[in-house]
Amino acid sequence: MPDTNRPTGTHHRPSILVTGAAGNLGREVVDLLRTHGALVRRLVRHPTGPCSGTGTVVGDLTDPAVLRAALPGVDAVLLIWPLLDTAPAHDVVAELAAAAPRVAYVSSTAVDDQATRQSDPIVQVHADMEALLLDAGLRPAVLRSDTLSSNARGWAAQLRAGNVIAGPDVARTAVVDERDVAAAAAAVLLAPDRARPNPGPYVLTGPEVLGRADQVARLGAALGRRLSFRPLPADLARSRMLADGRPERLVEALLAASVDRPESHRITDHVERLTGRPARTFARWAVDHAAEFG
């Protein structure tokens, strides 16, 4: 597998389009690609923050004209699909098929290849996107990511108010550091054609299976605070998320995931295969990001 600690070469600097470049994962991928000498083109909805400036395309990924304008000269694309609906993705995939770059798609470890229907709407979208890309002949590198450690940033407001994190509980899984997912994505995107990794799917997990209470306890250890997690019943969780301004469809999808998505004890070495380094623990993530919760 490619070693992203080495330069990509002097004869050709790959040009890579990163969708969702302003998000937790996208930002990490952009930084890694730039560090390793790639020409990065970032697709963002708003021209603010670190993703503004040269090399940035501003617009909606679901607008075929925006994507068409972003693709000329691009060797590879990191596709992060932002919607709970795949209908607009048909035109997006058609543009990708016409331009024919290498595509890496960030999916979910919860996708069950044997299931007729997936456990919840979020996983169903990922399964449908994988199928769309394959049917278009793109042969994408599929990166199935477990729950990202960066999701814990959503607890910051509650931690400023006290020591209890309240929310819907979820099944235990091998939570993965977004920096490791980004490094895996960069390895796939930067690999020269002669050393291109197989299309996977790669199952990207952390090194230990954790529930919400486990994550909160590890975050508390990093902050030097005695934190606790309080699971909320669905009705109360729904009302709180809606009051926070989250779209109703997203709230219902998150609640469905908390109820219907099964627990997973699967831990893989795919992060290490792609990056040459073992996956980080959530405890390490908590220490590295403790200042964000101060």
Q: Is residue 131 part of a domain?
A: yes
Instruction: Say how many domains are in the chain.
Output: 1
d(C-alpha 187, C-alpha 190), whole Å? 5
The CATH number covering residue 74 comes to 3.40.50.720
Q: Which two tokens stand for residue 223?
A: 């902050």
Q: Is residue 161 part of a domain?
A: no
Task: Describe the strand order of the beta sheet including 102-108 as a list of residue ranges.
Answer: 56-58, 39-44, 15-19, 76-79, 102-108, 141-145, 202-204
pLDDT tens digits, one per residue of 80-92: 999 999 999 999 9
pTM: 0.92
Residue reference for tokens 């306890």: 217
Q: Is residue 218 part of a domain?
A: no
pLDDT tens digits, one per residue of 174-227: 999 999 999 999 999 998 765 566 777 999 999 999 999 999 999 999 999 999
Q: Is residue 198 part of a domain?
A: yes
For 291, residues 6+ apart whose C-beta sits below 8 A from its C-beta are none
% of the chain surpassing 90 pLDDT: 87
d(C-alpha 166, C-alpha 231), whole Å? 6
**Bond prior to 201 in cis (omega within 30° of 0):** yes
Alpha carbon distances (Å) from 153 to 63, 159, 290: 29, 10, 10
* Structural contact between residues 114 and 255, judged by C-beta atoms closer than 8 angstroms: no
pLDDT tens digits, one per residue of 255-287: 999 999 999 999 999 999 999 999 999 999 999
Q: Is residue 53 part of a domain?
A: yes
Cβ density class 243-252: b for 16+ within 10 Å, e for less: eeeeeeeebb
- Find the domain containing 22 and state its range: 15-145+178-205+267-279
Round the average pLDDT of the chain to a whole number and report it. 92
User: Which has the closest alpha carbon to 89: 77, 99, 80?
Assistant: 80
Q: Is residue 164 part of a domain?
A: no
Residue 123 DSSP class:
H
User: Which has the closest alpha carbon to 108: 141, 150, 145?
Assistant: 145
Residues facing residue 42 across a β-bridge: 18, 56
d(C-alpha 168, C-alpha 114), whole Å? 28
Q: Is residue 40 part of a domain?
A: yes
User: Which has the closest alpha carbon to 186: 277, 68, 124, 247?
Assistant: 277
Q: Is residue 5 part of a domain?
A: no
